[in-house]
Structure 1
Amino acid sequence: MAKNELKELSPPRKQPAMPEGFRQLKTQVAGHTFEESNAEAVGLLQDPTAGCVLKPMGKPECGERELRFYESLAAAGASGDNDLALLRGHVPRFYGPLKLVVNRRERTFLRLEDLTRGMSQPCVMDVKMGKRTWDPESSPNKRKLEEAKYVMCKQKLGLCLPGFQVYLPKDAEEEEEEKKEHPTILRHGKDYGKSLNVEGFKQTMALFFNASTSDSKTRRVGTELLLKEVLRQLQAILSWFQRQRLLHFYASSLLICYDYSRLANSNTQKSLLNGHHRLEKDDDPANWVRVRMIDFAHVYPADRALPDENYLFGLRSLIEVVQSILHR
């Protein structure tokens, strides 16, 4: 039997049943996903019209805690210059909860800003922060399970890599124009992240930022622009953590997003190479690079009003890794 006949006879992959206008989030790189073998498993949804990502609320206590966190930020925003209000600029915008019937069951979702909206070739990385990823209410068994995950990177860097996707130029022997127009896409999940040691983590970060594929002068300038903007946003989050004494974050992540098509925009890089230091608004990397805190199901009041040294340790490590890529 011919290969195309075999393909035609193969049963189509069963798609989850969801309301009209919603679809699976194709750029989800970590967390719970839709599973063909488990009708109860639900991943992130996307409302492309509204520019929202819908995150299913997890276990009742965790889902309620995350909802309360977002609601507290919304309430703080009206009260002026305080630490909670300042935090709003570092998390996705929250548009409230929404009930939807997915796979014939009603579920509650958190409607959040889609951080990849407007990106034609979104590169996305989830980085979990801190040496300790279990919260104060975790059982001994849960603590043991968490301590066994991502051991090599977590203990030395305070960082884990649950997943990422990145667009990369094609092989070096191909023409530059073809590489720019037809990049390849690479995706890795938690199994890849669990296998990384410290050096492997650093190499993966360089790969994600296209720093190991910067094979032309214009591309190197674009990567430098990207790394400097990522560092600017990371430093702003660091400044917030250094002053705040309200909250401690466990098993929380940073989501790093950028648009590869803007990175490969030769007009932007050529302008910088020619000494034109002012960028047009659309070329400003602040418009196509986003670093945001996500995953707040394990946020607790700060113990004795102490700083969150666990998160700070991972954040400082991440900044050092990005700086080393920029300056190598």
Structure 2
Amino acid sequence: MSEKPKEKNSLALEIQKTAAQGSCQSQAQDGKSQSRLNGCVPLSHQVAGHKYGIDKMGILQHPDGTVLKQLQPPPRGLRELQFYTQVFGEDCSDPQLLALRPHLPRFYGTWVSPDTPNDLYLKLEDITRRFSRPCIMDIKVGRRSYDPLASPSKREQQIRKYPLMEEIGFLLLGMRVYHPSRDCYICHDQFFGRSLVKDTLARGLARFFHDGEKLRKQTVCLCIRKVRNILQWFESQKQLHFYASSLLFVYDGASGVHMATEHNNNNNKHHQHQQPQDLSRTDSPAKSSCDEEGWAEGLPESLQNGVQTGSPLNLEQSNGNGETVMEEEGKERDLSECFVDEGDEGDMEVRMIDFAHIFPSQTPDEGYMHGLRNLLSVLEKILQD
């Protein structure tokens, strides 16, 4: 575990201090062979972000079942390390940070390989570990995917990647969905996400909840409840703004409810199972990897065709400040199909990840909340159609 600050400064002040530092305890991964990683292997279920073996830095899986995320160059890596250290510190007494813990992967300190002592890793909970066939979706949330310190060129680069980010407030970075009837995974990458516009968002996200034969409505309900809980946390705090942070969605794609709790007592046992076929492809706006025959069976006609009877987002209204906002009418909709018992909460996980761009603030994080509200609108659209 990293050393705790000697003084109990607020997280905002600590982040401000570490952001100003000019050195870091880590270096970029320089292509070391997997045999020198003390049994660690690339994370097999990653759907977005830096991937080990492709990028200089990536996510690894430790033999004990945790995941290892290498620190980014300063100040990003220090900022993320300080965030986790403060939130999960034994001396943390801030009620807002304590309330945030359930929405994050648990932090187990830092890890260094004896073979690469200059590479520092965050040791984190593997959210996918207890699921036998984890279906995973990564969504970047917020109206801006660049932080206040970004250079003009960086801002232009990020805006060019997805010009609708300002309006919609979120971007699909990737997904991996298990189809039991075919024993295969269907994958979509960031290019598919960037191809989605207001009229096709619901159709695109609905693919994550479709098992090749039917739409998993109960899973959508769980998703809505968990995202609402995260929104409630943001509505209650004013000390932090999150940029380029994501939500990670995970549920078990196996037939029935296969939580496989015995896997918790056997290191990485489910990764020893014979893995289903992975139908990953590089998506483009012109072609999607889910064009396989029958993938949309069970979806409402409006979602199958990609033409929706009323856009999930009404972005034509003004909030009086020259900005467009989603339609507030029906914000607390009566989702009559959405019955979720307390015992069902564990059937799905929604966690916040990626905290290299967190900044202190004295105002609500309107950009992140805008994205959460629009995401909820799309999820409700999927369920109601």
Instruction: Settle same-fold status: TM greater than 0.5.
Output: yes
Aligned to 1:314: 371
Among 161, 176, 187, which residue is 1:165 paired with?
176
> Does 1:96 find its partner at 2:155?
no
Shift in alpha-carbon separation, 1:60–1:78, aligned structure 2, 3 A = closer
Which sections of structure 1, spanning at least 5 residues, go unmatched? 1-13, 170-178, 215-219, 266-276
Equivalent in 40, 43, 59 of residue 22 of structure 1 = 40
Looking at structure 2, the residues matched to 156 and 63 of structure 1 have their Cα atoms a distance apart, in angstroms, of 29
Q: Which residue does the alignment assign to 2:3?
A: none
Contact in 2 for aligned 1:100/1:107 (Cα 8 Å): yes
Q: Residue 59 of structure 2: which of 44, 51, 56 is its match? A: 44
Task: Give 1:231 deviation, angstroms.
Answer: 1.1
Give the conservation status (yes or no) of the 8 Å contact 1:101–1:107. Answer: no
- Return closer, same or farther for 1:47/1:202 CA change in 2, 3 Å cut-off: same
Shift of 1:263: 5.0
2:82 aligned residue (68, 71, 85): 68
Is 1:235 matched with 2:232? no
For the residue of structure 2 that corresponds to 1:151, the secondary structure is: coil
Rounded Cα–Cα distance in structure 2 between residues aligned with 1:316 and 1:75: 30
Read off the aligned partner of 2:111 and give its amino acid letter.
Answer: L
Please state how far the C-alpha of 1:21 moved relative to its aligned partner: 2.5
User: Between Structure 1 and Structure 2, which shows a larger proportion of helix residues?
Assistant: 1
Aligned pairs, number: 274
1:72 partner letter: Q
Whether the 8 Å CA contact 2:177–2:185 is kept in 1: the answer is yes
Q: Which residue of 1 aligns with 2:291?
A: none
Question: Which 4+ runs in 1 deviate beyond 6 A?
Answer: none
SS at match of 1:89: helix
Partner of 1:138 in structure 2?
A: 150
Instruction: Report SS of the residue matched to 2:200.
Output: helix
Distance 1:207 1:48 in 2: 32
CA contact (8 A) 2:136 2:177 kept: yes
On the 8 A contact 2:174/2:187 being kept in 1, the answer is yes
Cα distance in 2 between the residues matched to 1:278 and 1:144: 42
Cα pair distance change 1:288/1:21, threshold 3 Å:
farther
Which amino acid is 1:313 matched to? H
Residue in 1 that maps onto 2:67: 53
Query: Secondary structure at 1:261's aligned position in 2?
Result: coil
- Identity of paired residues, percent? 38
Counterpart CA distance in 2 for 1:278 and 1:125 is 21
Q: Return the alpha-carbon distance in structure 1 between the equivalents of residues 167 and 380 of structure 2.
A: 17
In the aligned structure 1, how far is the partner of 2:375 from the partner of 2:90?
A: 28
2: distance between equivalents of 1:308 and 1:33?
29
Provide the alpha-carbon RMSD of the alignment.
Answer: 2.5
Relative to the length of structure 1, the TM-score reads 0.77
TM (norm. structure 2) is 0.66
**Structure 1 residue 185: deviation in Å?**
0.7
1:117 alignment counterpart:
129
Kindly indicate whether the alpha-carbon contact (under 8 Å) linking 1:77 and 1:85 is maintained by their aligned counterparts in 2. no
Instruction: Tell whether the 8 Å contact from 1:206 to 1:212 is kept in structure 2 after alignment.
Output: no
**Residues in 1 aligned to 2:198 and 2:212: alpha-carbon distance in whole angstroms:** 17
Residues 196 and 17 of structure 1, relative CA distance in 2, 3 Å threshold: farther
Q: Which stretches in structure 2 are left out of the alignment for 5+ residues?
A: 1-31, 259-338
> Is 1:196 equivalent to 2:193 in the alignment?
no
